[in-house]
Each structure stands twice: as structure tokens, then as C-alpha cells.
Structure 1
């Protein structure tokens, strides 16, 4: 026998469908924002890649050049770099769409917290990438190039390999610079106390060096350039988290009664 849907079941189904439709619309808007940014940049893809590769080009010896070992590499690698830039440009729109989707389900005090966290997360991620581009790349490339002269080796890097290295490094430093945000969220949500985070500081420092050893090239300089900022950012997170230690009285007032 066919089941009869109760009004409650119908209401739940309509609510789920409406959320799915809203999620679809916001995903479409996010994708369109990325596509618009990509279309606006695609003409300058070679120039964008040249700027992207400048730290390595500056470290190459006189007359040194990057090479292409894949037939389609000269087209797809600059396009991938341009897509990365387009995504970064459109990221505020993507974050806004995500924020607009989840905001109705949050308490008022949570809504007030999310927007600063979103802005700070985006800003710190960009700062992390800029730190890698302007400081880490030139330092590491010049350091590694200094080993080629005694060996009589010529330094020529494939553009696809450079892209993989740069993307990994950008992601590592971008995520690393999110440490203060993670610390603040953990404290504000009551997941971990500020005193406990201070207590585990020595383990965090050891963990920072372990993570940097995994994510960076196998040289001490690169590891230090990631581990030291990670440790300092953890300390910064502890300082900022003092302002966001939850107040039980306020939390109880903001929690709806059953």
C-alpha cells in the first residue's frame, strides 16, 4: 500500500529541497564569478605565468631559461596559473555565497564572529602566499642554485614541475598562516581552553618543525622559513584568543530555551 505523507514529512521534504536549490544557486554564482575572472585574465595568461615564475627566473644563471618537456605544457601550465589567480580574485564572492548559505542557521553571536573570521582567513591566506612568493621563493631558489656551480650543473626547471612546487608551497604557507584563526575558533567555541593551548606550546613547536619538514623542500632553510612563522603565528593566535574567551553568562543568554 502506498504510504501517506504527513504534513510534517511534506514540510521536511520541502525544506530539504529548498536548501538544495539554494545551495545549487550559490554554487552556480560562485562558479560564474570564477569564470568571469578567468575570462577577464585569459588574454594575459603568458604575462601572468612570467610574473608567477619571476622568482625562479631571477635565480637562474645568465642565459638560463625554463624548459617545456610536455607537448601541451606551454599552453596548459599558464592556463592553470591564470585559473589560480582567477580563483583568488573570485574567492571573496565564493566566501560570501558560503556565508549567506549558512548564516540563517547560526545564532546572532555566531553570525557576528563568522564575518571577521572569513575576512581574516582570506587576508591571512593571501599574506601567506605573498610571504612564500616574495621571501621564501627567492631565498630557496638562490640557495639551491648555489649548489649547481660547484657541480658544473646547469639549472633548468620544467614549467610543470615548477608549477607543482609553487602550488604546494603556496598551499602550505597559505594554510600555515591560518593558525591564528584556528586558535581563536578553538577557544571561542569552547573546544579547547586557552590555558590548555598555552600548556601544549612545546608540542606545537615540535609539530611545526615536523610539518615544515614534510611540506617543504629537503633543506634546513626552507623548513625554518615555514616552522618559525608557524610558531610565531601560534603565539599571535594565543594573544588574540584572549579577546574571544567565551563568557558563560552571555552564552547562556544567547542560547534559545527549549
Structure 2
């Protein structure tokens, strides 16, 4: 059956389209998750457990950086006193399954974005629909950049801080497997979605919910919110918070620029 035009679609038709979007996206995630399931050795030993090793690339980078600026080895990580344990019978299997699904979501993100584009494209102008490839590539790059930032910056900073934090010498950190993986999952996926801010602002400007002037007026409040978010998703030290806050504020400024461009085009159409 031929696909209906936007003007011909009822509310139930939109719900049906949304239902199939979710079904196809779920199938894509599960397909990618199945592939990831068979690469568990690499995903767990090399990727997930990488930030708990003192020779992780991020720790070496900060160590070299501190020596470059004459700070001796003040930023060098020499020990991460923690062990990973599984305290439930199905703990490792559950971790394997959910990690595979998370990997499936990350790997399948471009397809999910493509499905999202197909869902909203009927509401766009004909000339805007031609930018499908640009939209998908840009959104995917932003997401993967956020994931990499979360993995190489947020996750190791959090792991190092929390592993070395102690209230008594009588306590040793035997970290539950699920707790450790949850930390890495939230750090990477949250940053990936957070880096989609320019895309979100683009569509909010299109539908008139935000304007360039409102984004500029709320810049100082946004900075406070970003610092609060940085304090939540990073260890409570100023260096970690600044490292997280800087790229987010850069994305916010880029979002303002995007909003200006969209707003000017809409004004010309009027």
C-alpha cells in the first residue's frame, strides 16, 4: 500500500508509523547486540575493563601532560585499588546480555536516526528532505563523539576517583560487576545523547519553541545547569567538572549559531 501524505494521515496513522519505527529500531538494536554478544572477550577485557588499568591511555595522557607542565607526576595514576566481583548467580550472564544490548544501541544508532528522520520528514519542506544524509551523518558523528568523550574522559576520571576514595584503611573496594558496568554505561551513553544538543536545538527552533535570543538570554542559567550536571556525572573535583563543562558549553554556542541560521531562513520564508 502506498504511503499516505502527511495531510492524509490521521492520529492513528501517526501512531502506526511510530509503532513500526520502534519495531524496526528494536530489531536493529537486537541484531547489533547479537553480533556484540560473540565479541564478549574483546568488549569486556579490552573496552570495559580498560579504565581500571593504570596503563589506560587517558591516565598516560594526563601523566605526560603533568610532566610537560612541570608538575612532576602529580596527575599520574599509579594504583587503582579495586577488584571486580559478581555476587549473583546470574550476574555475569546478565552483565553480558545488557552490555550486548548497550553495544547494539550504540552500533545501531545511525539506523535509529535514519528511522527518526523518515518519521519526521513528511513535516519538512521538500528542499529540507534533501539533507537526509547530512542529518544522519552529523547526528551520528555527534553521538559517537559523545560516546568516545564519555569513555575516554568521564569514565576513567570517575573510576580513578571512586576507586581511590576511602573513608578507612580497613575497607577495600570489591566492586560489584553490575555497579561498575552501570558507571561506564551511564558515562558513555549519557554523553552520546548529550552531544545531540545541536540537533535538538535545530528542531526546537524549527517548531518555534526556542529562538536565538532566548538561548542567549538563558546562557548564564545554562552554565549553572551544565556545572550541576558535570558535578553529577563526574567525581566531585573541579578539574573533572571543567573538563566536562567545556565541550557542553561549546555545543551550546554551536546550537545558538544553528538556531540563528534556522531562524533567519524561517523569517525569509515569511
Q: Per-residue CA shift, 1:118-177, capped at 9, x if unaligned?
A: 432332122111111112222333334444598364333211001222222223322322
Contact 2:187 2:233 in 1 (8 A): yes
Deviation, structure 1 residue 22? 4.9
Structure 1, gaps ≥5 residues long: 1-11, 253-258
Q: Which of 185, 198, 207 is residue 203 of structure 2 equivalent to?
A: 185
Q: Is the 8 A contact 1:56 1:137 kept in 2?
A: no
Q: Secondary structure at the match of 1:70?
A: coil
Structure 2: runs of 5+ lacking an equivalent: 1-6, 55-76
Q: Normalising by the residue count of structure 2, what TM-score does the alignment of the two structures yield?
A: 0.73
The 5 A counterparts of 1:19-98 are: 22-50=17-45, 51-58=47-54, 61=79, 65-98=83-116
CA contact (8 A) 1:49 1:82 kept: no
Normalising by structure 1, what TM-score? 0.76
1:166 pairs, out of 165, 170, 184, with 184
The 1:135/1:66 distance shift into structure 2, 3 A limit, reads same
1:242 shift after superposition: 3.8
Report Cα offsets for 1:36-72 as digits up to 9, x if no partner: 2222222222431222221124479489531111211
1:8 is matched with which residue? none
Question: Whose helix proportion is higher, 1 or 2?
Answer: 1
- Relative to structure 1, the CA distance from residue 60 to residue 116 in structure 2 (aligned partners, 3 Å threshold; closer, same or farther) is same
Q: Point out the more displaced range, 24-33 or 67-76.
A: 24-33
| Range 134-143 or range 84-93, more displaced | 134-143
Q: By how many angstroms is 1:187 displaced?
A: 3.8
Number of equivalent positions = 241
Post-superposition offset of 1:18: 5.8
The CA distance in 2 between the partners of 1:143 and 1:160, in whole Å, is 18
Which structure: larger Rg?
A: 1
Deviations 1:208-241 (A, max 9, x none): 1122233444444443332232222212222344
Q: 1:235 aligned to 245, 250, 253, which one? A: 253
Residue of 179, 194, 218 corresponding to 2:212: 194
